[in-house]
């Protein structure tokens, strides 16, 4: 058989999801397996868009935003989309909201980092409490993180301050880079304290102070307006500054995601899957006659081909599509099937509004399968696939990496 892989096609496909009797998981130690109840039903629609990694720079040749003259910027009240899209480069699903719609009242934000004076360097090396005290002395307050993010994304909701992509010049000359609202240096060369908290997640994330922005030397995706880190509020650093806001503080907060059951079975009609594949470049050469493998017959075939005699303890083999929760805040659909003379394994990020984005694909040329998926509900970041269970060259893994990328590999 021949293998073809593609890990970066983008899909925005609507789906209707109704949980039907699946047991929910507790903390990280209580994930559990699927319980054999009715599957989650998916009804996707829409078309696949290009992967973010393959898009051309949308800012090529763009003119920089003209900065306002005032040292304070009025941000009008309104609704914006906070956070990022599952599958975005650099996204941490544990910390970043998934396309969270937020309504804020109007407020004023300093155009520059404290002391909000273009003739003076930003003040760094202070704790969050000290930063809040200094803002109060000027008649202001420390900005909340959602106020910071809205000011950064601007009226157009750009990923980076004033732009759709990162410009390395901003790290060297932060005052030359304005957000769509005219606020300068946001996410360019400094991290910034906010008044907000990162709420705890069981066994994973303690309560901490929410910090926005990034140091100049950080990787490109860390300069996104949605980038968020959790820091001890008593900490201080040379790259950690702050800016002040005025007006009544907005009460909206970013909720922390919680642990879910690691795997749930899903139902996705083949006609809907075929429509999804029709606009995925990686599947352009596949036959449109798509079928799933049968359970339990095809599972038994995969087992019989191998020498192991059966799966490892606590491992379940299935030909059903799975809804996978490797970490809090991330949902991925993994499935296998046959298209004409070829077989495939594919993983989709699940987006809010029941849309989908390709995470990773593997096409097995001239291989009719069957393929079984194997999972252990207590192994959160990896599951297996096989045409011959535990046979070299005919099996592999679907792995969720620490950087949030999904890869499908062959052993």
Burial 112-121 (b: 16+ CB within 10 A, else e): bbbbbeeeee
* 121 and 233 both lie in a single domain: yes
Query: Do 217 and 270 share a structural domain?
Result: no
Report yes or no on 385 lying in a domain.
yes
Judgement on whether residues 146 and 178 belong to the same structural domain of the protein: yes
Q: Would you state the structure tokens that stand for residue 114, as one six-digit string?
A: 């404290």
Are 210 and 302 members of one domain? Answer: no
Based on the structure, what is the number of domains in the chain?
2
**Same domain (yes/no): 237, 269:** no
Within 10 A of 137 (CB to CB), how many other CB atoms are there? 9
**Residue 186 sits in the same domain as residue 327:** no
Residue 17 lies in a domain: no
Contact 104, 78 (CB under 8 A): yes
- Cβ neighbors of 117 (< 8 A, separation 6 or more) are 71
- For 305, the domain range is 263-410
170 with 236, same domain: the answer is yes
Main-chain dihedrals φ then ψ at residue 41, nearest 5 degrees: -95, 125
Q: What is the pLDDT of residue 37?
A: 62
End-of-domain residue from the set 212, 246, 280: 246
Residue 16 included in any domain: no
Give the pLDDT of residue 181.
Answer: 98
Sheet containing 244-246, strands listed edge to edge, beginning at the edge strand earlier in sequence? 72-75, 107-110, 244-246, 141-142
Question: Residue 68 carries which DSSP code?
Answer: P
Residues 281 and 385 both lie in one domain: yes
DSSP 178: B
Pairing of strands 316-318, 372-375: antiparallel
Q: Is 191 helix (H, G, I), strand (E, B) or coil?
A: strand
pLDDT at 31: 46
**Res 43: pLDDT:** 62
- CA of residue 395 relative to chain centroid, distance: 27
CATH number at residue 80: 3.90.1580.10
Of 219, 246, 273, which residue is a domain's last?
246
Flag residues of the chain having pLDDT under 70: 1-37, 43-70
The whole-number pLDDT of residue 196 equals 98
If asked whether residues 137 and 235 sit together in one domain, one would say yes
- Of 216, 246, 276, the residue that ends a domain is 246
pTM over 0.75: yes
Give me the pLDDT at residue 8, please.
38
Measured in residues, the chain has a length of 411
Are 305 and 351 within one domain? yes
- The structure tokens listed for 105 are 């009242």
Is 224 in the same domain as 125? yes
List b or e across 341-361, with b for residues whose CB sees 16 or more CB atoms inside 10 angstroms.
ebbbbbbbbbbeebbbbbbbb
The DSSP bridge pattern shows strands 355-365 and 342-351 to be antiparallel
Is 143 inside any structural domain?
Answer: yes
pLDDT of residue 251: 96
pLDDT at 82: 98
Same domain, 220 and 317: no
β-pairing, 240-241 with 191-198? parallel
Q: Is 189 a domain residue?
A: yes
User: Is 291 part of any domain?
Assistant: yes
* Separate counts of helices (H) and strands (E) for the chain: 5, 25
In a domain? residue 37 = no
* 159 in any annotated domain: yes
pLDDT of amino acid 40: 83
List beta partners, residue 333: 323, 348
Confirm if 375 and 263 have CB atoms less than 8 A apart.
yes
């Amino acid at each position: 058989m021949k293998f073809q892989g593609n890990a970066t096609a983008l899909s925005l496909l609507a789906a209707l999801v109704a949980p039907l009797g699946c047991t929910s998981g507790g903390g990280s130690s209580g994930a559990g397996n699927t319980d054999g109840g009715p599957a989650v039903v998916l009804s996707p629609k829409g078309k696949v868009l290009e992967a973010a990694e393959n898009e051309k720079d949308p800012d090529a040749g763009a003119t920089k935003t003209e900065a306002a003259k005032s040292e304070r910027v009025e941000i009008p009240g309104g609704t914006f989309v906070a956070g990022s899209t599952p599958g975005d480069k650099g996204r941490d699903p544990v910390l970043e909201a998934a396309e969270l719609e937020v309504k804020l009242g109007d407020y004023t934000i300093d155009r520059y980092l404290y002391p909000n004076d273009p003739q003076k360097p930003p003040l760094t090396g202070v704790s969050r409490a000290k930063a809040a005290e200094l803002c109060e002395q000027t008649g202001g307050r420390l900005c909340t993180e959602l106020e910071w993010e809205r000011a950064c994304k601007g009226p157009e909701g750009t990923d980076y301050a004033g732009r759709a992509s990162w410009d390395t010049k901003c790290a060297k000359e932060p005052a030359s880079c304005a957000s769509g609202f005219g606020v300068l240096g946001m996410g360019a060369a400094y991290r910034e304290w906010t008044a907000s908290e990162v709420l705890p997640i069981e066994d994973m994330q303690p309560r901490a102070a929410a910090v926005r922005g990034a140091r100049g030397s950080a990787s490109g995706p860390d300069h996104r307006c949605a980038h968020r880190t959790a820091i001890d509020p008593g900490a201080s650093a040379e790259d950690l500054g702050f800016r002040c806001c005025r007006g009544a503080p907005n009460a909206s907060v970013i909720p922390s995601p919680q642990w879910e059951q690691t795997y749930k079975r899903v139902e996705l009609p083949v006609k809907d899957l075929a429509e999804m594949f029709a606009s995925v470049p990686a599947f352009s050469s596949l036959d449109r006659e798509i079928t799933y493998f049968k359970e339990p017959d095809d599972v038994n075939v995969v087992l019989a081909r191998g020498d192991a005699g059966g799966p490892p303890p606590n491992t379940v083999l299935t030909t059903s599509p799975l809804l996978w929760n490797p970490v809090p805040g991330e949902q991925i659909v993994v499935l296998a099937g046959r298209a004409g003379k070829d077989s495939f394994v594919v993983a989709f990020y699940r987006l809010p509004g029941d849309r989908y984005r390709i995470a990773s694909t593997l096409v097995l040329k001239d291989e009719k399968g069957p393929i079984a998926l194997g999972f252990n509900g207590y192994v959160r970041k990896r599951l297996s696939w096989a045409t011959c269970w535990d046979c070299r060259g005919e099996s592999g893994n679907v792995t969720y990496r620490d950087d949030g990328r999904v890869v499908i590999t062959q052993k």
